[in-house]
Every structure is written in C-alpha cells, then in structure tokens.
Amino acid sequence: MAKTPVPAIEGWFTQDANDPRLLGSQCTTCKNYFFPKESTFCRNPACDGNELAEVPLGRRGKLWSFTNNCYPPPAPYVATDPFEPYAIAAVELPEEKIVILGQVEPGIGVDQLEAGMEMELVLGPLYEDEEHEYLIWKWRPVRSASNAQSV
C-alpha cells in the first residue's frame, strides 16, 4: 500500500512533485526575501515595512557551503535508527539572494559535492508512519543535460 505523502511542516513548501517550491515572503517595501516566511514585520533593519507577501522561491541555486552531519539532529527531526550520516547543503538562490539550508538527497555524499555547483530543490521523505510519508525539501546537484532523466 502506498503511503499518503504529507508535508512534515505545514505551509513551508508546495507539494508539487514536478516543481516543488519553498514558500517565502517578500517585503513589499524593500523587496527583500525571507525564508522561513515572515508575516508581521520586515527583518531588514533599514526598512520599516510591515507588509509581506507570500511568494514561491526559485528552485535552483548555487552550492555555497556543505557539511557532513554525523550526529542525530534535534527535534523536530526524526533520526533513523541506527543513525545514518547525511550531507547538509547551504544553497544561495540567485534571484532572492538568500541562503537555504537543507539535507542533501540520500545517496549523495559530500565527496560528490563541490562549492559553486548548481543545485535543485526536490521533496523527499523525512520520516514516515503507518499511513503517511512526511515530506521535507532536499537539495541535489542538477544533473547535466546528457544524463537527465526527464525533460
């Protein structure tokens, strides 16, 4: 039986398998982007804006930094038992100019990552229970055109 996919965190991303987007906010005054969403005031200290619009963020960015996480993460993350290390990537979105942290897709280790490479956002399971698969965003390197699986 297939489990029903549901977001692990409600309202942080769209659940479109082909084009998942993180949902951020943009200040209508200074045009800066924020993730996670801000709704009450602008985090830019030089701006007194208090109107923020929800916007889907770009799916691709440049790998800015990455590390190997060898320790079970704190709540609300649910660690696998036994714990399996995974890579964490910090990816800068070119248009929004913000850095988004996320797990790297399973099976892709730090030895396959290189600063500056282009990354894309995908959804993958964070954990599951009897009926549901709880999804979170993950980063993976953009596959070159020669071995792309889809168009």
Q: Which of 5, 29, 55, 133 binds Zn ion (CB under 5 A)?
A: 29
CB of 49 to Zn ion, least distance (A): 4
Q: Which of 8, 13, 20, 27 binds Zn ion (CB under 5 A)?
A: 27
- Chain centroid, CA 69 distance in Å: 16
Residue 29 or 69 having the CB closest to Zn ion: 29
Whether the Cβ atoms of residue 24 and residue 14 lie closer than 8 Å to each other = no
CB of 29 to Zn ion, least distance (A): 4
Total residues in contact with Zn ion, by rule CB under 5 A: 7
What is the full DSSP assignment across 25-81?
A: EEETTT--EESS---SS---TT-----EEEEEPPSEEEEEEEEEE-SPPPTTS---S
Whether the Cβ atoms of residue 13 and residue 21 lie closer than 8 Å to each other = yes
CB of 40 to Zn ion, least distance (A): 12
Site for Zn ion contains 98 (CB under 5 A): no
Residue 30 or 79 having the CB closest to Zn ion: 30
Site of tokens 């990816």: 91
64 contacts: CB under 8 Å, gap ≥ 6: 90, 91, 92, 99, 115
Site of tokens 């943009």: 26
Residue 3 or 31 having the CB closest to Zn ion: 31
Residue 45 or 82 having the CB closest to Zn ion: 45
The binding track of 38-57 with respect to Zn ion, each residue x by CB under 5 A or -, is ----x-x--x-x--------
Binding site for Zn ion (CB under 5 A): 27, 29-30, 42, 44, 47, 49
